[in-house]
């Protein structure tokens, strides 16, 4: 049975190779410098930055303090070994948004009535509805858009008019509240998009998944911030 130090070093070396692949940096650069570059290119590395830096220090302690071929000054705890192996597995085989969020996406047409949209919202408990016009995606209808439309109506008019979903969409104050993403994107990258959008003051309502990330492709999934919270 391999020692904890042996398991640790195997996982560490695999992570080192993954960092080189991500950054295209040469092998002789330090583990720390690879992390510095990789965290800006890979959301999973950014997520585990602190742990990876601690692993780098521990690796140096193990390798530089060996007192024999088969003897190290200290063996990592089981928890440390399990954690580094888990991170290595995630880096080598990242979970994609398609794996977790592929599903039938309910879409609406611009010429459909508000009643149709409200029925879907009530039955499916959706807060965002992708809206299409003549086969082309035009945006998301949100609860805010519906409230904005209602606020702009005279009380007497609401019962007489039969608004279309395009009428509702035109009352969305923020149109660019979505982003199309590739099906192969990692879940950590998706989480990173939402975090960056909040920091920039342009909060995303949803990530829309297509095979290649194109808006004219078939929608195969949708991710909201709430979806990611449920994963924690």
145-184, pLDDT tens digit by residue?
Answer: 888 887 777 655 554 567 899 988 998 888 889 999 999 9
Neighbours of 131 (CB within 10 A): 23
pLDDT at 35: 97
Q: How confident is the model at residue 77 (pLDDT cuts 50, 70, 90)?
A: very high
Q: How far is residue 148 from each of residues 17, 61, 167, 171, 226, measured CA to CA in Å?
A: 52, 61, 11, 6, 23
pLDDT the model gives residue 140: 94
The predicted pLDDT at position 63 comes to: 82
Domains and CATH numbers, the chain: 4-93 (no CATH), 99-229 (3.10.580.10)
Angle at 85 between CA 84 and CA 91, to 5 degrees: 90
Minimum mean pLDDT among 36-40, 60-64, 75-79, 115-119: which range?
60-64
Model confidence at 69: pLDDT above 60: no
pLDDT digits (tens, 9 = 90+) for 182-197: 999 999 899 989 988 9
* Distance separating alpha carbons of residues 32 and 36, to the nearest angstrom: 6
pLDDT at position 65: 62
Mean pLDDT to the nearest integer, 88-107:
93
| Lowest-confidence pick of 45-54, 63-72, 115-124, 147-156 | 63-72
76-to-92, 136, 171 alpha-carbon distances in Å: 22, 56, 58
Q: What is the mean predicted confidence (pLDDT) over 42-70? A: 84
Contact 216, 137 (CB under 8 A): yes
pLDDT band at 132 (very low <50, low <70, confident <90, very high): very high
Phi-psi region of 134 (alpha: psi -120 to 50; beta: other; left: phi over 0): left
Query: What is the rounded CA–CA span in Å between residue 74 and residue 5?
Result: 8
Q: Work out the pLDDT band at 206, boundaries 50, 70, 90.
A: very high
Distances (CA, A) of 135 to 28, 69, 109, 216, 217: 52, 67, 8, 9, 10
pLDDT of residue 66: 61
Strand, coil or helix: what is 52?
Answer: helix
Q: What is the C-alpha to C-alpha distance for residues 165 and 156, in angstroms, rounded to an integer?
A: 20
Give the model's pLDDT for residue 72: 59
- β-strand partners of 206: 178
Cα-Cα-Cα-Cα dihedral of 139, 144, 147, 149, to 10°? -30
Helix-then-strand count for the chain, H and E:
12, 6
pTM (2 d.p.): 0.79
What CA dihedral angle connects 178, 182, 184 and 185, to 10 degrees? -40
Give CA–CA dist 116/131, Å, rounded: 12
Q: Is the pLDDT of residue 37 over 90?
A: yes
């Amino acid at each position: 049975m391999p020692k904890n130090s042996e398991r640790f070093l195997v996982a560490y070396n695999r992570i080192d190779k993954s960092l080189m692949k991500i950054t295209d940096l040469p092998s002789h650069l330090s583990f720390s410098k690879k992390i510095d570059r990789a965290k800006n290119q890979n959301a999973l590395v950014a997520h585990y930055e602190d742990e990876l830096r601690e692993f780098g220090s521990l690796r140096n302690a193990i390798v530089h303090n060996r007192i024999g071929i088969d003897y190290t000054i200290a063996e990592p705890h089981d928890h440390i070994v399990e954690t580094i192996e888990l991170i290595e597995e995630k880096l080598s085989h990242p979970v994609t948004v398609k794996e977790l969020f592929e599903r039938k996406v309910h879409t609406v047409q611009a010429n459909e009535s508000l009643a149709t949209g409200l029925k879907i919202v009530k039955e499916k408990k959706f807060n965002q509805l992708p809206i299409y016009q003549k086969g082309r995606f035009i945006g998301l209808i949100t609860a805010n858009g519906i409230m904005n439309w209602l606020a702009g109506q005279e009380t007497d008019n609401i019962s007489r008019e039969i608004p279309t979903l395009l009428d509702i969409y035109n009352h969305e104050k923020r149109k660019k509240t979505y982003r199309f993403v590739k099906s192969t994107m990692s879940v950590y990258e998706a989480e990173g998009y939402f975090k960056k959008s909040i920091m920039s003051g342009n909060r995303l309502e949803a990530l829309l998944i297509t095979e290649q990330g194109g808006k004219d492709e078939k929608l195969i999934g949708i991710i909201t911030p709430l979806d990611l919270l449920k994963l924690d």
